[in-house]
């Protein structure tokens, strides 16, 4: 499949989320496979980040929460990238999102939460029946650390507009996966998946 180049101001802008996966990459394939066993979505991403401007994003990655070049994702033909716009986002909301995001730069990545906590959480499925567990951190989570989806969700949670979103109220941030963020956060309806983002 050939991916269409995303256009700044049309497909992505400050405060938008960018979901991606890299086929043939062991870690990316592992994360998407594991999520797909327990959750379904139009697009199962292995990574998600926030847009800062035309060139930069902020992500929780292997070296912690950091600035990144969007070109690393857009210009890599091996990566599938989908941009998503939060519903009703405006300049005030995007400023709130990015103000919180920038304060998190330098915080660590949640390796133990990813490697030990997420699999245990998904395999046990206890949160499906015991709802109070949803508000507790994922097992082995290190306070202050974030995986990619938890970081993006936390940034959205720290706004007046999105702090009451059901997903963000019912679940501890560390329990939010890329798939649950994709499915349950109020992004603009995803209508261009086959029409614009992907060409067979």
56 is in which domain, residue-wise? 2-199
Q: Are 147 and 114 in contact (CB under 8 A)?
A: yes
Number of domains in the chain: 1
pLDDT along the chain (200 residues), means of 10: 72 95 64 61 86 97 95 88 95 97 95 71 62 73 90 97 96 90 90 42
The string of pLDDT tens digits covering residues 179-198 is 999 999 999 986 544 434 44
Count of CA atoms in the C-beta half-sphere (13 A) of 113: 25
Q: What is the pLDDT of residue 195?
A: 39
In this prediction the pTM is 0.84
Q: What is the pLDDT of residue 189?
A: 82
Radius of gyration of the chain (CA): 16
CATH of the domain at 74: 3.90.1720.10
């Amino acid at each position: 499949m050939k991916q269409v180049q995303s256009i700044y101001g049309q497909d992505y802008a400050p405060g938008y989320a960018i979901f991606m996966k890299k086929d043939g990459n062991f870690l990316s394939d592992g994360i998407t496979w594991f999520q797909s066993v327990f959750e379904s979505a139009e697009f199962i991403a292995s990574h998600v980040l926030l847009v800062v401007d035309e060139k930069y994003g902020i992500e929780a990655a292997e070296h912690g929460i950091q600035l990144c070049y969007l070109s690393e994702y857009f210009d890599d033909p091996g990566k599938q990238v989908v941009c998503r716009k939060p519903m009703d986002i405006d300049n005030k909301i995007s400023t709130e999102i990015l103000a919180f995001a920038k304060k998190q730069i330098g915080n660590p990545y949640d390796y133990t939460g990813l490697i030990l906590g997420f699999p245990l959480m998904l395999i046990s499925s206890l949160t499906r029946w015991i709802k109070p567990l949803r508000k507790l951190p994922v097992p082995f989570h290190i306070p202050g650390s974030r995986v990619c989806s938890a970081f993006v969700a936390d940034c959205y949670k720290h706004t007046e507009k999105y702090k009451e979103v059901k997903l963000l109220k019912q679940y501890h941030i560390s329990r939010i996966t890329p798939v649950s963020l994709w499915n349950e956060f109020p992004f603009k309806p995803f209508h261009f998946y086959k029409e614009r983002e992907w060409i067979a």
